Every structure is written in structure tokens, then in C-alpha cells.
Amino acid sequence: MNSGVDRAAGDLRAALRSSIARLEVRNVPSALLAAELLLMHVLQRDRAWLYAHPEYELSTEAAAAYAQLIERRSKGLPTQYLTGRQEFWGLEFAVGPGVLIPRPETEHVIEVALERCGRRRTEPLRIADLGTGSGCIAIALAQELPNARIIATDISAVALDYAQRNAARHEVDARIQFLVANLLEAGRGLSGPPKNSFDMVVSNPPYVGRNDAANLPREVREHEPPEALFAGETGFEIYPALIEEASKSLRPNGIFVVEIGYDGADYVRSLLSAPSWSELIVTRDLAGIERVISTRFSG
């Protein structure tokens, strides 16, 4: 099999150049970035080191490992799954097959949640993160809110394993309880959280419609967990249950913060138009897309 990268030892510059060409031929998006990240991963060096040492000779073993990663990336496997990591909120998260890769736009959920906490950031807040995935939202909030206690749920045991490891790595695992659950259903037993006991509910739910699956990049469509991507045919199906769960979980004056898809704002607004919700704010992402809705529960 010709991977497009010489498996014999060669210099870094040549290996990087041929890898970029290989990825571009296969229409891999951001080919330069992918080639850099994979080489950084193999050599355990940063980008500045790569470009400061263009004539560095790769060992036969390093060249072979790099060639294998480039070949797998050329077939559509996400770079993050190949390196096992993704940055979010300035923190590094372990990721792999079976867990959604954190997106930069989800950082707006953290920004909005912290803004709506206001002066309460040092209080012992109780927070629920529904559909936690890699744990990125729960862990980022635990870092920013030093006295918060968080329950984070997901239907995927695989995702929760990653989330627990990420929480331990960032030393916030003592303040986050992870539950295999659909929303908070499994947490409502005798030892679980009582009704209306949370100060905040946050969520980045699945919001892609199966009708739109063909429009997703193949890296996403073919490799990321479908249960974390798709919410029925239209992508809106999860919001009624999610909002009902938030109303069951929040204290009076509690805050609900939810990420939405590019065309979901009007529908979610309509669900939050009841008298029990107030102070609704829609936040746009850097591309100008309505990305996060936050609102207050009146009880």
C-alpha cells in the first residue's frame, strides 16, 4: 500500500510536504493543519519546534507511524480521534471513537452560563449538564465555578468513561457526578436529586436532523457517534423533552442554557414562551449564527 509518505527515514520538511499533498488529493479539509497535528503527535513536539527544525531526520519508526496516521486521516478518520485529544476552553480533553469531539462554538455555552451566574460564581451552585459527552461543559464550568457541584449525564457509557477520565485529569472529579441516563431520568431515585433542586441546567444536545446527514462532513457523518449528533428527522425532536426536564430540575429563578442548531432558534423560542420562562436571551457565535439560548425559570 502506498500511503504517499516515504516509510524510510527522511527529513521533517519532506515528510510534512508529502503528507499535505496526500491529504489534499483525498479532499481532506484543513490538510496542512491535520498534517502538522499528526506529526506533532508522533514526535511529541509543538508546532514551533517543527518549523524550527525542518531538516530533522525522522527515524524509520517515526516515519512509519506518521505514514499510518496520514493514511487513516485520508480515509476520513478525524484528526482528534487519531491524536486522542481536543482542546476546549483552554483545556485538553481525551477523545476517541464513541464520544463527540468538542466544538469551539460550544464554548459559547460556557460564556453564557458564567455571564448569567453573575455575582454567584463563588456560591455552592448545583448544576446539571445533560448530554455531557466528553465532559467538556461540566469540566469547564467546574474549573470556573470553584464551589459548584455538578451532575453530568449521558446515554453512552463510552462517552462517560472519557468524561470521568477528563474530570480526573483536570482534578474536578470530586465535584462532578457522572450518570448513565437519558437527561436526568436515572438520577431521580431515592438517592437522586429531588425535583427543582438545581440552580442551572446546561446542555449541548444532539440537534442535527437525519434529513441533513448527507450534508455533514464525512468525518462527522461516518465516525462520530450518531446518538450525539442526530435528534430525529428534523433535529428539533429532543427540545420538548429537554425543556420539560429543565422545568422539573430548576429551582425558581434557576437558569437554563442550551446550544441550538443553525436554524433552531425560532422553534426553541416558541417552546420557552410559556409564563414559567423569562429573560430569554439568544447569543450568536462568531459566524453570526444564533447558537445559544438562555432563560430564567420562574417556577
Tens digit of pLDDT for each residue in 77-124?
Answer: 999 999 999 999 999 999 999 999 999 999 999 999 999 999 999 999
| Sign of the alpha-carbon dihedral angle for 129, 131, 133, 136 | negative
Query: What integer pLDDT is reported at residue 192 of this predicted model?
Result: 56
Domain 85-297 sits in CATH at 3.40.50.150
Residue 70 burial (C-beta neighbours within 10 Å; 0-12, 13-18, 19+)? buried
Q: Please compute the mean of the pLDDT values over residues 37-58 and round it to a whole number.
A: 96
Locate the domains of the chain by residue range: 12-75, 85-297
Which tens digit of pLDDT belongs to each residue from 251-295?
A: 999 999 999 998 899 999 999 999 999 999 999 999 999 999 999
Q: Which bin fits 140, alpha (ψ -120 to 50), beta or left (φ > 0)?
A: alpha
186: pLDDT confidence band, cut at 50, 70 and 90?
A: low
- The amino acid sitting at 211 is N
Residue 138 parent element (H or E): helix 136-144
Q: Please compute the mean of the pLDDT values over residues 62-91 and round it to a whole number.
A: 97
Contact 116, 144 (CB under 8 A): no
Backbone angles phi, psi at 86, to 5 degrees: -150, 140
Beta bridge partners of 230: 208
How many Å is the maximal CA-CA distance in the chain?
68
Superfamily of domain 12-75: Ubiquitin-associated (UBA) domain (1.10.8.10)
Cα torsion through 169, 173, 177, 180, rounded to 10: 20
Which tens digit of pLDDT belongs to each residue from 196-237?
A: 899 999 999 999 999 999 999 999 999 999 999 998 899 899
Query: What integer pLDDT is reported at residue 69 of this predicted model?
Result: 98
Beta bridge partners of 128: 151, 201
194: pLDDT confidence band, cut at 50, 70 and 90?
A: low
Tracing cell 493543519 back to the chain, one arrives at 33
Query: What integer pLDDT is reported at residue 3 of this predicted model?
Result: 45
Instruction: Give every CB contact of residue 140 below 8 A, 6+ residues apart in sequence.
Output: 88, 89, 91, 107, 110
The model's pTM is 0.93
Grid coordinates standing for 219? 468525518
DSSP 8-class letter at 208: B
